[in-house]
Amino acid sequence: MTCQTTRGRRIRRPMAAAIAAGLAETLLTWLRSGRIGGDLVVRCSEGHLFTTIWIPGASVKSIRLGWWRIQRCPVGAHWSVVTPVREDELGPRRRRAARRQLDIRLP
């Protein structure tokens, strides 16, 4: 093997792993929420519902630990693991309340 071939493999493997992880997160987000990203209703570990910007593969306002996102909950004013929620499974009142409760917006 030449030096270029070995170096090419060292570069391609991490890139392929990063792309696969991004696709997996996008798929999981879609399965959980019915949407790929954008403004999603999420639930914190204490059950509070609020709306946040969710970008698969990126963390602008949260701390990522593997598949989990830790983010400040604006409802309970605490840090918590958040997960996307299917809005169509919420009643109209809970959906409206979650849409009104926004976390901090990006500058």
Helix, coil or strand: residue 50: strand
Mean pLDDT of the chain: 82
Domain boundaries, the chain: 3-100
Reported confidence tier of residue 3, pLDDT bands at 50, 70, 90 = low
pTM for the predicted model, two decimal places: 0.71
The DSSP call for residue 107 is -
What strands, in cross-sheet order, belong to the sheet with 68-73?
A: 49-54, 38-44, 78-84, 68-73, 63-65
5-29 pLDDT, tens digit each: 666 667 788 878 777 777 777 777 7
The pLDDT value recorded for residue 75 is 94
pLDDT category at 47 given cuts 50, 70, 90 is: very high
Quick one: pLDDT at residue 106? Answer: 65
